[in-house]
Structure 1
Amino acid sequence: MSSPASQGAGAASSTQQSGPPYLPTIAQLGGRPTPKVDDPISGVLLAFFVAGAVINMTILQINRRRQHKFLFSGMLFGLCMARTVALTLRIVWASRPTNVRVAIAASIFTQAGVLILFLVNLIFAQRIMRAYHPHFGWLTPVNWVFRVLFMCVGALLIMVITATVDSFYTLNATTRRIDRDIQLFSGTFLAALAFAPIPIVIFSALLARPKRRVEKFGQGRFRTKIYLILFTSTLLALGAGFRIGVNFDVRPASNPAWYHSKPCYYCFNYVIEIICLYTYVIVRFDKRFHVPDGSKGPGDYAAVYGAKAASPAGAEPAKPGLHRQMSLAQSVASRVNDEEDVFGVTDGDADTFSGSGTEGEEQKERAWERRAQGEATKEDAGEAV
């Protein structure tokens, strides 16, 4: 993660500054913004994120009215809003280069936004794994592993924000070293998290049993879902790896390297996120990666979407969680003998015994009447009935 406050060597020159907070003394990704260069670039990127926010919120509301629950559109809306704030603060910082508090706020929002995409891809990778390996993917220990990863994202974000703010408000070399270690650890962990969906999806596909049917979910071809996750995860891992690699190389602010330039800052931060954002929107990821609400175990994905494919238009699909009960009922029914198995009764015999419709009932009544008349005649004649 990029951090303008990754302080290390050069703390001595900070003693000449007035503060706190203090301006960073080492080279940072993107450098200090200037109105002539950063305002036009930030304005164009700002337009993309504002449009993305409108599109994702519109999709979210339309799906909500259709009872199509897909919260990831709301998460991408949050990403767009975080990026809108970050770019706006960068424009303000360009006009007020000595305002350290604006620089701190811009840095925090820049670091926070991309984590949303990390979470989205990680959840999608989990769904791919459950589709290929339902009995393994729904195990409680596996679910807890993903939950711990999700919680780690929030914890690391808090750590990064705390270390970043603290490094702006101290001149103590030891404190700044600790802050820098925290930033490097958090950035490395998050870069690994951005890369994690790639091996999860690849190994899930390679280790799948050929004869076992994949529990597909959502609309569209299943391989397209895999390609989407691999493509976006590769871009996000590239951006995260580049940012943390830049932070490991400490250089003075007066002598930045080529990888501290503004093109690198905008491309490995905002451009990558815009590509991922609009890729998901254009391919309608809200339909491709949707799973039934209430899915809790193996078979829930396939049960609902299989019912949708087989049922006529307008029919209500099967509810999640009923797949295992239906399978059990069918298994029991296959073990119960019917009347034909027990008594050897054929369809013709059944018609003979029971008749068919009104004609059968009339035949029964006439037979009972003849039998009753015969018994009455025998009684009158003194014969035994």
Structure 2
Amino acid sequence: MFPSLEKRGGPYASTTAGLGGLPSNLPDVPVCAVFLALYVCFAVTNMTIFQKNRRRNHKFILSGMMFGFCMARITTLVLRIVWANRQLNARLAIAANILVNAGILLIYVINLILSQRILRAKQPHIGWHPIPRTGSKVFYYLIPGALIMVITATVVSVYTLDPDTRASCRDVQLAALTYLLVFSCLPLLHVAAAVLLPRSQDQETFGEGSMIAKVVIVTLSSCMCIMISGFKAGANWSPPRPVSNPAWYHSKACFYVFNFMLEILILCLLTFSRIDKRFHIPDGSTQPGDYSAIKRQESEEADVGVEPKPRS
């Protein structure tokens, strides 16, 4: 299929079925166009929220991260549309497939940050303990490593015909996808520890809204992320199938449902629930008691008859 490239060592066309299959003008382009418009709307919305909060000195970087996620998905869909019109371009296929796995990582990180805030508020003696704090940092640092593993293995596998090398690349990809599945489950462990352990006498409150609403938001978002990462891991752990005989999970319907549709639902949940208000904490919070700093200040000002300052 790529005679001129094969002489130079690839890239070679894949002989196994992949998630979503080979994109075509119908139905991929119209479907991608709809999702593209939705991601653009969420990118504009989250950047607007971020800028308005920034002008009010209300620091909430996670809104900027959601904007970055939307921009990554816009790039992913644009590449898939171009790939549908350039089906023989192997390099374009590599870039499109890598971005499908890379973009969602920002949402995984956001969920973990939100769940950490719940744990630190409900169980300060656990959430602020050096061991879980160090463990969380290790998990964060391993995310770029997993991404590099996926990218490297994907690129190497299409530039070689050696079966042993391709098998090793598949093992690396499976290890990275399995780690991402484990990472996506961590927020639920944080929430479970916060809710199920005996109530702490030092528990705090932060942001707007009830703690129950915060728990529901993080739980729903995390469950959808687990569905996304679990689907990818399960499909890749299944025995490889030839391109001519794909399984049901290789279909275009599954590809769009278990990737972009669930991601749009996550964006709806996080954006419209206004996590920028519900999960806002004082700047520089590094120890127990910091989350309640704003509320204590407002209470003290009310006691002495001073008009509270506007919340940032």
Give yes or no for TM over 0.5: yes
1:72-121: per-residue Cα shift (whole Å, max 9, x none)?
01100110000000000000000011100110110111111100000000
Give the counterpart of 1:35 among 22, 25, 38. Answer: 25
Equivalences for residues 20-31 of structure 1 within 5 A: 20-31=10-21
SS at match of 1:98: coil
How far, CA to CA, are the matches of 1:308 and 1:108 in structure 2? 48
Could you tell me which residue of structure 1 aligns to residue 308 of structure 2? Answer: 315
Mapping 1:1-385, distance limit 5 Å: 18=6, 20-209=10-199, 212-249=201-238, 250-308=240-298, 311-312=301-302, 315-316=308-309
Of 309-318 and 44-53, the range deviating more from structure 2: 309-318
Give the whole-Å Cα distance in 1 for the aligned partners of 2:141 and 2:85: 37
Identity %: 46
Aligned AA (2:66): L
Mapped partners of 2:29, 2:20: distance in 1: 13
Structure 1 residue identity aligned to 2:134: W
Deviations 1:200-219 (A, max 9, x none): 20122110326x25211110
In structure 2, relative to structure 1, the CA distance for the partners of 1:15 and 1:314 (3 Å cut) is farther
- Mapped contact 2:122–2:204 kept (Cα < 8 A): yes
Distance in 2 of aligned mates of 1:293 and 1:317: 16
Q: Output the CA distance in 2 between the equivalents of 1:77 and 1:206.
A: 33
Asked whether the 8 Å contact 1:79–1:113 carries over to 2, the reply is yes
Structure 1 position 158, deviation (Å): 0.9
TM-score using structure 2 length:
0.93
Q: How many residues align?
A: 306
For structure 2, list consecutive stretches of 5 or more residues without a partner in the other structure. none
Q: Which runs of 4+ in 1 moved over 6 A?
A: 13-17
CA pair 30-57 structure 1, distance change in 2 beyond 3 A: same
In the alignment, the residues of structure 1 paired with residue 82 and residue 310 of structure 2 have an alpha-carbon distance, to the nearest angstrom, of 52
**3-state SS of 2:87 partner:** coil
Per-residue CA deviations over 1:313-364 (Å, capped at 9, x if unaligned) read: 853499xxxxxxxxxxxxxxxxxxxxxxxxxxxxxxxxxxxxxxxxxxxxxx
Offset at residue 168 of structure 1 (A): 1.1
| Post-superposition offset of 1:141 | 2.3
Q: Distance in 1 between matches of 2:167 and 2:131?
A: 37
Residues 261/17 of structure 1: CA separation in 2 closer, same or farther (3 Å cut): farther
- 2:185 touches 2:226 (CA, 8 Å); kept in 1? yes
Alpha-carbon distance, 1:31 to partner: 0.2
Cα pair 2:5 2:11 within 8 Å, conserved: no
Q: In structure 2, do the counterparts of structure 1 residues 118 and 238 end up closer, same or farther at CA, with 3 Å as the change threshold?
A: same
C-alpha displacement of 1:16: 12
- Compare CA radii of gyration and give the structure with the larger one: 1
TM-score (norm 1): 0.76
The structure-2 alpha-carbon separation of the partners of 1:288 and 1:116, relative to structure 1 and needing over 3 Å to count, comes to same
Which stretch shifts more, 306-315 or 132-141?
306-315
Mapped to 2, the partners of 1:248 and 1:88 lie a distance apart of 28
